[in-house]
Structure 1
Amino acid sequence: MRKWFSVILGLLLIFGCGFGFVQYMKSYQLDVTTMETVKPVRLIQAGELITSDMLKIVSIPTVQHMDNAITEQQKIEGKRAIVPIGETEEFLSWKIGEDTLYPTADETYIGFKVDIVGAVNNMVRRGDKVEVWVEYTEPKLLDESGNIIDPDLLALTNDVAIKTLAGMKKIYNELLIPDLTVAYVKDQEGKEIIDLIPTNNLGIPLSSWQRDQENMERYRQNASAQPAYITFIISESDYAKFAEGQKEGVIKLGLPGNSESIGTIIPSESTKAEDVKN
């Protein structure tokens, strides 16, 4: 009886040691191969101000960690997203920036009326950098050196006029401001236009990866309302270009990276009246 008792006790000791060793190795492996990092609770749109309720601490395999990812939550709060950041992504340093949606000493807020087409088919949002183009009512005439030709010169027939007109080039549109900051895009009631978080109509639970895929496919296709007003952070010199462009033609807005994303600023009533007089 003692013999069997000793055998059973020995087996239990061996099993216990083996089990303990396995658990220790698993714990060691977990400590070595995983780490804590910060990820979004949901898709963060470009231009959004990042707050604490948008962030969560998660454990990931160390091999999945990006070298330039920020792992300290306090270094992310208060920043603005430069590009969309999905649930499965870490906060890479180049994807976020300082909250700069306030005028500096030489800038100011200037607002305009805008419609759904003017806001690039309702794709422009707070924090975007847009291109400002002018589509001239009458083509601008340039000589070979790029200087503007006086339209009155067309009525002359002397040798100088003929030589100038020989190298004439017509410009139908022109980029006025390449990088203008959008401070606000609001609806008729003065509410900020935002992107609504899409819901799964089928009621099927989605993984973080699937939600990111679905959200990116619907990127800026689910606006909260139709735009009525747009406000820029603009310098005096850029506003002078903007105002001159309104006098000479139609102002167009573009979102860089998409050649089809072009919208039109609605002329003010005073501008329309002056155009009629002219």
Structure 2
Amino acid sequence: MNRRRNVLLSLLAAILSGLLVYGIGWMQTKEQERKGMVNVVVPNRFIGAGERLKLSDLSYKPVPGNMVTKEMLTRKETAEGMETLIPLGQGEPLYDWKVSRYTLQPGPAESTFQIPKSYIRSISNGIRAGDKVVLYLSGAEPRRLFEQTVKVASVKSSSNVEIDDKEDPNLLALADGDKEKMYASRRDANGMIDYINLNLTEEQWLEVDAACKDGTQQLVIAYSPETMQADGLGEENGP
């Protein structure tokens, strides 16, 4: 009888020991998984292409560290103010190639309009795709047409070639925040601007058309410093 009891106690002790080892291993695995989780930025709603992201549009989602890639954004502040290049699904990790601070795509209420050459009196030669420009009316009563700046979608030569420095494109310098490279790109770009496309709302385009179609007034399109200020490029470095 004692022998049987000793066997049962030994068996029970072995089972309990095995469960303890399993439990400790399971807890260690979970702890490693918990420590290996990384918060990535995700939209908290469906976001269409061309929308500008706000902090209220974004949340964090824990993802295993071995699944996180360098293209995933991990800080909401990085994405704030950027525009979406493609639609974003709710809860899906936000990749840097899906957004841009300098997208040429028109916003939700805008369309891209090619401005007729007869509507234009002059265009600043320094203007490049992605810039912000100010529109003025030249005529009997010169005035600024819109208080807000408008974005340039493209500037092309008479041969329909985008005007830029092919070795060091202006848009790449703009996105990198490198104002010296940006300046050099504008300086080294060749070609006269023959066609310009602007991202305008319907109301803005109708106002341009109404003002210029009879030929008594023409547009003066000027480069705006807002292009550099938008991402702090126009600010001088502190001491």
Into which bin does the TM-score normalised by the smaller protein fall? 0.3 to 0.5
With structure 1 as the length reference, what TM-score do the two structures score?
A: 0.37
Q: Which has the higher contact order (CA 8 A, sep 6+)?
A: 1
